[in-house]
Each structure stands twice: as structure tokens, then as C-alpha cells.
Amino acid sequence: MMIVGLTGGIGSGKSTVAKMFKELDVPVYNSDKEAKLLMENSEEVKSAIINLLGSESYGDEGSLNRPYIANKVFNDPELLDKLNGIVHPAVRDHFLKWAQNQNSPYVVQETALIFENEAEDKYDYIILVTAPAEIRVQRVMDRDRVAKQAVVDRMKNQLDDDQKLELADFSLKNFELDKTKRKVKELHLKLLALASKF
């Protein structure tokens, strides 16, 4: 089974690209969504988070107290690293089990911070989705209803595209949907050819 990582900075539109792969019948694993589910449903993950951040991490019905957690880790890189040290391995295990159950030449894992987390060696190939910075900022402002500065601050925590382009196997510029769709189809054919050699 060939494993392809799909990544891109905030607002690059990697979820849009992931949807295009799904439309081509490629199994796609959404790491963000699955991480949230594991944080809410895995007893092991929950107890580790409570040990790290306190019982206020969860509400009365066991739901994740996102504002509390975000507030705790936002300005504390060490604490954020520890939280990631709980969540990322759990997501990785879950992904690998999921991948084994897929019947496809290759699978895609959509995940935000492959290069930032130095996780390149976990993938056979990595696709980087890019878009001009001003478009990315506008997309996130529209999507999350946040101020421009908040988006710019979040972008500062990620490597810039030039650094990522050197590390990625493939890149997709995503600001005209028709062109992006065409590029995804071309890339899909390339990946099928590569997967046939596995």
C-alpha cells in the first residue's frame, strides 16, 4: 500500500484538493477530523490529556473543552509539544489501521504539519498544496470569521511554502478550481503508475 501525504499551509485549500481525490475514488484520511474524534472518544487519549492539562479539558458530558485547551497551549510551546506527543502517535496508529483496511493502490493522509513535525519519512510521496498568501488570508478570514492579524499570526507558526516546496515530491497551485481539478487528475494517474511498482 502506497501512502501519500497531502499537506499545505492554512488556507491553501488542501481539504478542497482532498475532496477531489475522493471524487476519483481514492481513500482519504482527514487527520484533523480524526484527531478530534480520538480526543473525544479514546479513553487512553482522554486520560493522558486530563493528566497533562487538568480535568477542565472536558465538559460534563465528556465533550472536549476546546477554548480551555487552546488557551492553555496557545502561548506555551512546551505544553503544545506535550499535547501533540499524545495526539499525533494516536492519530498515526489509527491511520495505519485504517490504511490496512482500504482496497486501493494508494491512500492519502490529509495532514497540516508534515514538514513542521519532521514526519516526511512516514510517507512514500508528499503533495504540497499552495496558494498566494493574500488568497490564503482571505479564505481563512471568510471561513473562520477572524481578523486578518489572527490569520497572519497562525501562518507564522508554519514553514513558508518556499521551504516546503524543496521538501515535497509534488506541488499543486490551488487558486483556480478548474485548473486544480485537472492537475489532481494528472497527479492521480502519476500516483497510480508509481503505486503499480510497489
Q: Is the pTM of this model over 0.85?
A: yes
Q: Which residue has the higher pLDDT, 100 or 157?
A: 100
Task: Let me know: does 135 contact 178? Beta carbons within 8 Å.
Answer: no
> For the ranges 8-17, 149-158, 165-174, which has the lowest average pLDDT?
149-158
39's grid cell: 480526543
Q: Which residue has the higher pLDDT, 141 or 156?
A: 141
Bridge partners (DSSP) of residue 127 are 6, 170
22 membership: H or E segment, kind and range: helix 14-23
Mean pLDDT over 122-140 rounds to 95
Please check the confidence at residue 157 and state whether its pLDDT lies above 80. no
> 68-100 pLDDT, tens per residue?
998 898 778 899 999 999 999 999 999 999 999
Q: What is the pLDDT of residue 98?
A: 98
Q: What is the pLDDT of residue 155?
A: 87
